[in-house]
Amino acid sequence: MRNRLPRAVCPAIVLLALFACRGVPPPANSAPQGSVSDSDLLDVTVANLHRLYDEKKYTVTQVVQWHLDRIDRYNGVYGAIETVFRKEALAEAARQDAMAQGTRGPLWGVPIVIKANTSIKDHITSAGWEGFTRKGHELVAPQDATVVAKFKAAGAIIVGHTNMPDLANSDTNRSSSFGRTGNAYDVRFSPGGSSGGTVTAVAANFAVLGNGTDTGNSIRMPAATSALVGVFPTRGLVSIAGIAPLDWLLDNTGPIARNATDAAIALGVMAGEDPLDPRTMGSPANAQRPPYAPQLKTDALKGKRFGVPAFVLAGDGIPFHGIPSTAPQPAFEKLRTAANMPLRPETREMFMKSVEALRAAGAEVIVDDGILPLTFAQLAARVSTYAYMQDGTNRFLATFGPAEYHSAADYLKAVGAPLFTSSIGTEDYFNNLGGVRIVQRVLDQDPDAERTYHAPRRAMLAAYLETMDRLKLDGYVYPAIQMPPPDETMPQDGRVSEGPHSATSWVNMIGVPAVVVPAGFYASGLPFGLEFSARPWTAGDLLSIAYAWEQATHLRKPPTLVEKGLIAVVRSAGRSR
């Protein structure tokens, strides 16, 4: 299906990386850039790109080729894109150039990237796992994921599938199907996971924007490491049909962009009902609907009241996938405190600077130990989802699997090996939580689902909203990550880096909207990200807050890329077709 581009490889592991290897030079048959100016296209916005098209300064083909040239030049160092869709992207660009003037979609001629767990028809959905790329057993998508179909209908041009950790099951970005992705601001450091490939690609100008997926922080945390805007929509605003799940009860997808306006445009494209995702059907009458870009206001922060969740500042833990309701209280509390994630002093300092900037912009920020305290973290920890992991995988494969397999059982029979452990709920740690044996079940048929999942989730959402009502809050604000991005050339806590880490997985549990915005830089030069969350179905208000923050602070600055980096940390510079 796809041919690998060769890449120089140095035989050493990442932790011992002390020297550099050159990435692969651009292919000999790459088209010349011609008169394209870097100053026009570096960090170009959707609006400015459309203006350039309208002025006939550039063709779509020139713009797509410029982005492909960036990939050729830098992807061998940064490892952001697993598969480059060179031929298809240029063919679509030529088709758009040949079109008569007329109605164009909101992302017409805009180069984008798609995360590798998101199905693109006739391409391998690797989801970062080598098991989906096994020769003769590849997971070739029979159709587009719903969001991919929407992007294409809006005129976007997909230049690549971005790298991600195996089935999104990591806070950093190393995959068995491709390798490691480095941070665009310093390749030695982590971009976070699991949307690390998308954030590095967008920050490095391999594309204008892209999609990420988020099961516990995986849009928001990587966006924070890379000075980008990352949107976690209200669950149900955007379809997740066609996205290989990690935990389908927590999964979501949303846009990642360099500014709030582009994120708003992209979210408007992605949003909408989809029969393949029942949670998108029947949104409330008061739901704020697209287009979102016209709803953005520069003064949206004035008079707003934000609360700071006390449990986030305290580092109180909420275990991923939750803890079964049948776990005894002593075991429950032991498991919950094991998930504690202290807020690093330098991150607290950056956050308090952001609080002052919010106040200077006219917002009121309330820091009080009674706002979502430890009891909220304890409540959240009871939302238990691990028993339904295989159910989500089977639902995905039933529609988006290849002809050879449409379930976990089919895969085992066809390949002779099981699916990735998280996909089928066979991870030893999660199978025995607090002395409770978790058996995989089908959510709709489980008599315990009300007690283990639905009721705790409702109680948690009620506590979230009650605090907003009582204190007349417009939202919450908190650090998107509990620490700076770690240096992956050095051990962290005595082992290979597994982070950075956040305290934001509670957002997934109740499905409320959240957005991360660039909020400055640490002394190291690495980005700090600030996160806001709000009431369900208020995407317009939330994006307006992000836009007003952006206009008040102007804290983002682009990275300076290098053509030499660490040793080669991906298997190739990127597969291409």
Residues designated catalytic: 115, 194, 218
What's the maximum distance between 2 C-alpha atoms anywhere in the chain?
A: 69
DSSP secondary structure, 119-137, as one string: --TTSB--TT-GGGS-TT-
Give the closest residue to 14 by CA, choosing from 191, 185, 180: 180
Which two three-digit tokens encode residue 459? 């109680």
Tokens representing residue 533 in the block: 């969350």
Distance separating alpha carbons of residues 512 and 509, to the nearest angstrom: 8
Q: For strands 364-367 and 305-308, give the pairing.
A: parallel
Nearest to 419 by CA among 433, 434, 407, 402: 407
Burial code (b: 16+ CB inside 10 Å, e: under 16) for 486-502 equals bbbbeebeeeebbbbbb
111-115 vs 209-213, strand pairing mode: parallel
Task: Classify residue 407 as exposed, middle or buried by CB count within 10 Å of its CB (0-12, 13-18, 19+).
Answer: middle
Phi and psi at residue 246, in whole multiples of 5°?
A: -95, -65
DSSP letters spanning 200-228: HHHHTTSSSEEEEE-SSSTTHHHHHHTT-
